[in-house]
Structure 1
Amino acid sequence: MIKKNIKNLSLSLAVMLTVFLTACGNSNSTSETDASSYPEKDIDGVIIWGEGGATDNISRTLAPLVEEELGGSLVMQNKEGAAGAIATQYVYDQPADGHTLLFGAENPNLYQVLDISERDYMNDFTPISIFGQNFGGLVVHEDSEFETIEDVIDFAKENPGELNMGYSGEGSLPHVASAMLEAELDTEFNYVPYDGDGPLATALLGKEIDATVLSVSAAQEYVDAGDFRMLSVINDEALETASDVPPITESYPAFEKYFPWGPFQGVFVHKDTPESIVTKLTDAFETAQENEEFQNTLESLGVVPLNINGEEAVEYVDKNRSTSTWLLHDAGAAEISPEEFDIPRVDED
């Protein structure tokens, strides 16, 4: 009887050990069977900016369309602060199970060289999809003496540090684009900071600054109202939404090497998210973006649709990071060299 009990106990222990080892073996991976039941709970969609901006509008328009594809709930929330670094760190700190998504823009590409955060897209996240790209436009007040981009650059060269260039914080579109002008054209601006694009536009309206770079979609309403003049788009070709505005390469061909470049919106997951879940999310977002309502939203915001994923998305984000970080460094706006993070110059890729 004792032998029988010992035998049964040994069998039970063996079964328990097998279950334990199996569980341990699966703790850091998810099989295709597990992915088939994903999502197992609500998915949190974390937006790095506050309500009402392009990233917020695009993400919230897309969310219900993705829900239909995944068959689960995508609960959106805004977690702003530190140029998006608070939201980025928050998502990174969550379990890598695909139930927390980061809806972001280009800013995390710059965190390291600006010493804002140790996180960045290339090392810490996997892109699920890049939705679209915006473009910047160099704008001045309608009453400005500057009629062309050459007028602005010539004045800045002849009067170093006297042209008041507005920007909306470190790593912002106005900041990076202005750094691009300084680095490539040997100019020097007097930077005037504002807390967001809204106050920046108000400053230009009040002639507190001489010029700034705004997203074409944000600037267009002021141009249409006769308040601003857009002198150039920061791109290598004219845009449909601003067809009468010349691209910067028309005046300065040397900028061609930087493009395609510009602000973008996309969705990311923790780098350790199982590949099967990444694939399921990628398929859902790719299909959802084909929706006509979503395409209309992009058009209304002046965003060029991309809908890219996989290696193409990785290469896109990587080139954006290379261009932006070296621009800031060469212009003296980033004290930490991109070399410290093994980021090559755009012409060395």
Structure 2
Amino acid sequence: MNHFDTSALTRRQLLASTAASALALSPTFSQAQAAWPSKPLRLVVPFAPGGSSEIVARALAGEMGKTIGQSVFVDNKPGAAGNIAMQEVANSTDEHTLILGHIGTLAVNPYIFPKLSYDPAKDFTPITLISKVPSLYVVHPDLPVKNLKEFVAYAKANPGKLNYGSAGNGSAGHLAFEYLKMVSDTFILHVPYRGTGPMLTDLMAGRLDAAAVGAPALLQFIKAGKLRCIATGTSTRLPQLPDVPTVAEQGFKGFEMTQWYGLMAPSKMAKANIDKLEKEAIAAARSKIVNDKLSQDTALAVGNTRVEFEAFIKLEQARWKPVIARAQIKPEGV
């Protein structure tokens, strides 16, 4: 009897061991555990080249590509305030397509478009907040103003004469300038573009008077004298621009405006891949190389968890919803 029980137990153990070995060696099991990513990862940037978004995306992609097992390449897909790229990535099922989330696509578009082709909460999984970028208020050097106080006075003395450009309706630059107009009680015409790059070209050519843009895309032009920075949107002065006072310092207490960028994946992506992606993205965002690269361009690297990033997005949505309603910001054609 004892002999039979022992033999049966041994057979069961042998079968269980054999089954476990077969499972571990099966292609689907091993691929799910170890083979992702199996091809280069595509990081979609929903804006035209030349802005802060591209600088942040390339910094992260370059570092992640060193450790995640495949290269990560940046793919710019501008249009419709980022909605075209967001919809494309939301529908992606290849497990290798990611997107650069942004204050505009995640916290603004839900409140300015009557109907979105994507749901920021349901269609995407937040991975990590990569960077916060200070907004700078700049003017063309020919404009006869040296600081924000003079700019506001000039705008009030010349109502409707000044214009400002942005990367598009509902973009961070649009929000930043409407916020400034609101607190300063000025009327300045908005001229939307398809991306920061083409807008800056016209600003430096003198076809625009002013803009609010993320610091990384502007510093080189400010230092070269092609643009004049009249204020920073940060709570304290920037070490890279120590002589430029903040908006708050120039008479608008409590004013602060930064834009932000985070890594997002389609919500359909396998959890094991999400977990690996989160680990690698956080390590890259917190790395000295990325920190140094972003700080050179006045951007702050973050690299938080996906739970923290999700909570941050909700807070930003709650912050900007009333600003958008008050400024009556609408997308083109609506």
Please tell me whether the aligned partners of residues 79 and 194 of structure 2 are also in contact (alpha carbons under 8 angstroms).
Answer: no
User: What amino acid maps onto 2:105 in structure 1?
Assistant: P
Q: Kindly indicate whether residue 69 of structure 2 is the aligned counterpart of residue 80 of structure 1.
A: no
Q: Distance in 2 between matches of 1:79 and 1:174?
A: 18
Please tell me whether the aligned partners of residues 130 and 306 of structure 1 are also in contact (alpha carbons under 8 angstroms).
Answer: yes
Q: Distance in 1 between matches of 2:215 and 2:59?
A: 20
Q: Which residue of 1 aligns with 2:19?
A: none
Q: Which residue of 2 aligns with 1:268?
A: 264
User: What amino acid maps onto 1:144 in structure 2?
Assistant: L
Q: What is the percentage of aligned positions where both structures have the same residue?
A: 25
Please tell me whether the aligned partners of residues 111 and 118 of structure 1 are also in contact (alpha carbons under 8 angstroms).
Answer: no
Please tell me whether the aligned partners of residues 44 and 75 of structure 2 are also in contact (alpha carbons under 8 angstroms).
Answer: yes
Q: Mapping of 1:104-143 within 5 angstroms?
A: 104-109=101-106, 110-115=108-113, 117-143=116-142
Q: Note the alpha carbon deviations across 1:283-342, whole angstroms, 9 max, x for none.
A: 11112234333233212332111112223212322333333443232112238xxxxxxx
Q: Which residue of 1 aligns with 2:330?
A: 334
Q: CA deviation at 1:179?
A: 1.0
Q: Distance in 2 between matches of 1:254 and 1:296?
A: 31
Q: Note the alpha carbon deviations across 1:168-227, whole angstroms, 9 max, x for none.
A: 321223211111112333322122334433343343334333322222233322322223
User: What amino acid maps onto 1:100 in structure 2?
Assistant: T
Q: Kindly indicate whether residue 55 of structure 2 is the aligned counterpart of residue 39 of structure 1.
A: no
Please tell me whether the aligned partners of residues 59 and 294 of structure 2 are also in contact (alpha carbons under 8 angstroms).
Answer: no
Q: Which residue of 2 aligns with 1:69?
A: 67
Q: Which residue of 1 aligns with 2:206?
A: 207
Distance change (3 Å), C-alpha of 1:293 and 1:112: same
Please tell me whether the aligned partners of residues 215 and 299 of structure 2 are also in contact (alpha carbons under 8 angstroms).
Answer: no
* TM-score normalised by L of structure 2: 0.77
Give 3-state SS (helix, strand or coil) of 1:77's partner.
strand
Give 3-state SS (helix, strand or coil) of 1:134's partner.
strand
User: What amino acid maps onto 2:203 in structure 1?
Assistant: L
Q: CA deviation at 1:236?
A: 1.2
User: What amino acid maps onto 1:250 in structure 2?
Assistant: E
Q: Distance in 2 between matches of 1:254 and 1:33?
A: 58
Distance change (3 Å), C-alpha of 1:277 and 1:196: closer
Distance change (3 Å), C-alpha of 1:75 and 1:250: closer
Give 3-state SS (helix, strand or coil) of 1:187's partner.
coil
Please tell me whether the aligned partners of residues 111 and 119 of structure 1 are also in contact (alpha carbons under 8 angstroms).
Answer: no
* TM-score normalised by L of structure 1: 0.74
Q: Which residue of 1 aligns with 2:16?
A: none
Q: Alpha carbon RMSD of aligned pairs, Å?
A: 3.0
Q: Kindly indicate whether residue 217 of structure 2 is the aligned counterpart of residue 218 of structure 1.
A: yes
Q: CA deviation at 1:275?
A: 4.1
Q: CA deviation at 1:233?
A: 0.5
User: What amino acid maps onto 2:301 in structure 1?
Assistant: P
Q: Which residue of 2 aligns with 1:314?
A: 310
Counterpart among 291, 299, 311 of residue 303 in structure 1: 299
**Runs of at least 5 residues in structure 1 that lack an aligned partner in the other structure:** 1-31, 336-349
**Runs of at least 5 residues in structure 2 that lack an aligned partner in the other structure:** 1-28
Q: Distance in 1 between matches of 2:254 and 2:156?
A: 18
Q: Which residue of 2 aligns with 1:90?
A: 88
Q: CA deviation at 1:89?
A: 0.6
Give 3-state SS (helix, strand or coil) of 1:287's partner.
helix
Please tell me whether the aligned partners of residues 183 and 327 of structure 1 are also in contact (alpha carbons under 8 angstroms).
Answer: no
Q: CA deviation at 1:48?
A: 2.0
User: What amino acid maps onto 1:49 in structure 2?
Assistant: F
Q: Kindly indicate whether residue 278 of structure 2 is the aligned counterpart of residue 282 of structure 1.
A: yes
Q: Which residue of 1 aligns with 2:173?
A: 174
